[in-house]
Structure 1
Amino acid sequence: MSYIDEIIEAYYKKYNEANNILTATLSYVVEPNENQLSQIKNYLAKKYNKETVEITMIEQPELIGGFVLKVGDIEEDNSIRGRLNRLEKKLTWR
Protein backbone atom coordinates (compact mmCIF):
# COMPACT_ATOMS: atom_id res chain seq x y z
CA MET A 1 0.00 0.00 0.00
CA SER A 2 2.93 2.36 0.51
CA TYR A 3 3.52 2.43 -3.27
CA ILE A 4 -0.09 3.02 -4.33
CA ASP A 5 0.45 6.71 -5.17
CA GLU A 6 3.43 5.93 -7.40
CA ILE A 7 1.52 3.10 -9.10
CA ILE A 8 -1.46 5.34 -9.84
CA GLU A 9 0.79 8.11 -11.14
CA ALA A 10 2.66 5.69 -13.41
CA TYR A 11 -0.63 4.29 -14.71
CA TYR A 12 -1.96 7.74 -15.62
CA LYS A 13 1.34 8.64 -17.28
CA LYS A 14 1.27 5.50 -19.47
CA TYR A 15 -2.44 5.98 -20.22
CA ASN A 16 -1.86 9.57 -21.34
CA GLU A 17 1.09 8.57 -23.52
CA ALA A 18 -0.89 5.76 -25.15
CA ASN A 19 -3.89 8.03 -25.84
CA ASN A 20 -1.89 11.09 -26.98
CA ILE A 21 -3.04 13.23 -24.03
CA LEU A 22 -1.01 16.16 -22.69
CA THR A 23 -1.42 17.27 -19.08
CA ALA A 24 -0.63 20.83 -18.06
CA THR A 25 -1.07 23.14 -15.08
CA LEU A 26 -2.38 26.68 -15.46
CA SER A 27 -1.86 29.04 -12.52
CA TYR A 28 -3.88 32.23 -12.80
CA VAL A 29 -5.17 35.30 -10.95
CA VAL A 30 -8.40 35.73 -12.91
CA GLU A 31 -9.91 32.52 -14.23
CA PRO A 32 -9.81 32.43 -18.04
CA ASN A 33 -13.11 32.26 -19.91
CA GLU A 34 -13.98 29.34 -22.19
CA ASN A 35 -12.59 31.05 -25.30
CA GLN A 36 -9.24 31.82 -23.65
CA LEU A 37 -9.01 28.29 -22.25
CA SER A 38 -9.75 26.87 -25.69
CA GLN A 39 -6.98 29.00 -27.21
CA ILE A 40 -4.51 27.79 -24.57
CA LYS A 41 -5.45 24.16 -25.23
CA ASN A 42 -5.08 24.63 -29.00
CA TYR A 43 -1.68 26.30 -28.51
CA LEU A 44 -0.45 23.41 -26.36
CA ALA A 45 -1.89 20.75 -28.67
CA LYS A 46 -0.02 22.23 -31.65
CA LYS A 47 3.21 22.90 -29.74
CA TYR A 48 3.45 19.38 -28.29
CA ASN A 49 1.70 17.57 -31.18
CA LYS A 50 -1.03 16.09 -29.00
CA GLU A 51 -4.68 15.41 -29.74
CA THR A 52 -6.07 16.18 -26.30
CA VAL A 53 -4.96 18.61 -23.60
CA GLU A 54 -6.06 18.34 -19.98
CA ILE A 55 -5.41 21.40 -17.84
CA THR A 56 -5.36 21.53 -14.05
CA MET A 57 -6.24 25.05 -12.98
CA ILE A 58 -4.86 26.68 -9.82
CA GLU A 59 -5.80 30.14 -8.58
CA GLN A 60 -2.73 32.07 -7.36
CA PRO A 61 -3.42 35.73 -6.46
CA GLU A 62 0.29 36.27 -5.68
CA LEU A 63 0.98 36.29 -9.45
CA ILE A 64 -0.56 39.81 -9.50
CA GLY A 65 -1.78 39.30 -13.09
CA GLY A 66 -1.33 37.02 -16.08
CA PHE A 67 -0.70 33.30 -15.81
CA VAL A 68 1.93 30.56 -15.52
CA LEU A 69 1.64 27.50 -17.74
CA LYS A 70 3.53 24.32 -16.80
CA VAL A 71 3.96 21.20 -18.90
CA GLY A 72 6.24 18.70 -17.19
CA ASP A 73 9.48 20.53 -16.40
CA ILE A 74 8.78 23.36 -18.85
CA GLU A 75 7.28 26.56 -17.47
CA GLU A 76 5.99 29.54 -19.45
CA ASP A 77 5.67 32.46 -17.05
CA ASN A 78 3.46 35.23 -18.42
CA SER A 79 2.61 36.67 -15.02
CA ILE A 80 3.24 40.16 -13.70
CA ARG A 81 5.18 38.65 -10.77
CA GLY A 82 7.43 36.77 -13.22
CA ARG A 83 8.04 39.88 -15.29
CA LEU A 84 8.94 41.86 -12.17
CA ASN A 85 11.36 39.13 -11.08
CA ARG A 86 13.03 39.08 -14.52
CA LEU A 87 13.30 42.88 -14.51
CA GLU A 88 14.83 42.81 -11.03
CA LYS A 89 17.43 40.25 -12.16
CA LYS A 90 18.35 42.38 -15.18
CA LEU A 91 18.71 45.51 -13.08
CA THR A 92 20.80 43.88 -10.33
CA TRP A 93 23.04 42.09 -12.86
CA ARG A 94 24.51 45.39 -14.09
Structure 2
Amino acid sequence: MTATKRNTKSYEDGRGTSVRMINRSRLERSMSVAELARRTDIDKKRLWYILDGQREMRVEEFLKLCVVLKMDPRSFVTRDMVNGIAEATARSIGRAQY
Protein backbone atom coordinates (compact mmCIF):
# COMPACT_ATOMS: atom_id res chain seq x y z
CA MET A 1 0.00 0.00 0.00
CA THR A 2 1.43 3.41 -0.94
CA ALA A 3 0.99 6.52 1.13
CA THR A 4 -0.71 9.44 -0.51
CA LYS A 5 1.07 12.77 -0.43
CA ARG A 6 -0.96 15.36 1.45
CA ASN A 7 -1.28 18.80 -0.08
CA THR A 8 0.24 20.89 2.71
CA LYS A 9 -0.17 24.31 1.10
CA SER A 10 -3.21 25.23 3.20
CA TYR A 11 -1.47 24.09 6.37
CA GLU A 12 1.66 26.07 5.60
CA ASP A 13 -0.08 29.40 5.05
CA GLY A 14 -2.26 29.20 8.16
CA ARG A 15 -5.60 28.39 6.55
CA GLY A 16 -5.34 24.80 7.77
CA THR A 17 -5.98 25.85 11.35
CA SER A 18 -9.75 25.82 10.89
CA VAL A 19 -9.59 22.41 9.23
CA ARG A 20 -7.55 21.04 12.12
CA MET A 21 -10.00 22.51 14.66
CA ILE A 22 -12.97 21.00 12.82
CA ASN A 23 -11.30 17.63 12.48
CA ARG A 24 -10.30 17.66 16.17
CA SER A 25 -13.91 18.40 17.12
CA ARG A 26 -15.12 15.55 14.91
CA LEU A 27 -12.65 13.13 16.50
CA GLU A 28 -13.55 14.27 20.04
CA ARG A 29 -17.13 13.30 19.24
CA SER A 30 -15.98 9.94 17.81
CA MET A 31 -17.76 10.86 14.59
CA SER A 32 -16.70 9.26 11.34
CA VAL A 33 -16.20 11.30 8.19
CA ALA A 34 -19.13 9.42 6.67
CA GLU A 35 -21.42 10.39 9.57
CA LEU A 36 -20.29 14.02 9.47
CA ALA A 37 -20.86 14.07 5.72
CA ARG A 38 -24.36 12.65 6.18
CA ARG A 39 -25.27 15.18 8.90
CA THR A 40 -23.95 18.15 6.92
CA ASP A 41 -25.14 16.98 3.50
CA ILE A 42 -21.58 17.37 2.15
CA ASP A 43 -20.38 14.72 -0.29
CA LYS A 44 -18.31 12.20 1.69
CA LYS A 45 -15.39 12.21 -0.73
CA ARG A 46 -15.31 16.00 -0.87
CA LEU A 47 -15.39 16.23 2.93
CA TRP A 48 -12.55 13.74 3.16
CA TYR A 49 -10.49 15.88 0.76
CA ILE A 50 -11.29 19.03 2.78
CA LEU A 51 -10.25 17.41 6.05
CA ASP A 52 -7.10 16.07 4.41
CA GLY A 53 -6.13 19.54 3.14
CA GLN A 54 -6.59 18.67 -0.51
CA ARG A 55 -9.61 20.93 -1.15
CA GLU A 56 -10.60 24.42 -0.05
CA MET A 57 -13.65 24.61 2.19
CA ARG A 58 -16.60 26.66 0.92
CA VAL A 59 -18.29 29.11 3.29
CA GLU A 60 -21.55 27.16 3.33
CA GLU A 61 -19.64 23.95 4.11
CA PHE A 62 -17.80 25.69 6.95
CA LEU A 63 -21.08 26.91 8.44
CA LYS A 64 -22.75 23.49 8.15
CA LEU A 65 -19.77 21.89 9.89
CA CYS A 66 -19.93 24.49 12.66
CA VAL A 67 -23.63 23.83 13.23
CA VAL A 68 -23.30 20.05 13.34
CA LEU A 69 -20.18 20.13 15.53
CA LYS A 70 -21.67 22.88 17.74
CA MET A 71 -18.75 25.22 17.11
CA ASP A 72 -19.07 29.01 17.13
CA PRO A 73 -17.81 30.32 13.75
CA ARG A 74 -16.50 33.41 15.55
CA SER A 75 -13.99 31.23 17.40
CA PHE A 76 -12.07 30.89 14.13
CA VAL A 77 -11.48 34.64 13.77
CA THR A 78 -8.15 35.84 15.14
CA ARG A 79 -7.10 39.33 16.21
CA ASP A 80 -4.65 39.37 13.26
CA MET A 81 -7.54 38.71 10.86
CA VAL A 82 -9.56 41.57 12.34
CA ASN A 83 -6.58 43.92 12.14
CA GLY A 84 -5.86 42.91 8.55
CA ILE A 85 -9.45 43.55 7.51
CA ALA A 86 -9.46 46.91 9.30
CA GLU A 87 -6.25 47.96 7.56
CA ALA A 88 -7.49 46.85 4.14
CA THR A 89 -10.77 48.68 4.70
CA ALA A 90 -8.96 51.86 5.73
CA ARG A 91 -6.77 51.68 2.60
CA SER A 92 -9.81 51.08 0.43
CA ILE A 93 -11.70 54.01 1.93
CA GLY A 94 -8.65 56.24 1.56
CA ARG A 95 -8.45 55.45 -2.16
CA ALA A 96 -12.18 55.99 -2.68
CA GLN A 97 -11.98 59.56 -1.37
CA TYR A 98 -9.69 60.69 -4.17
TM > 0.5 between the two? Answer: no
Q: By percentage of residues, which structure has more helix? A: 2
Higher strand share: 1
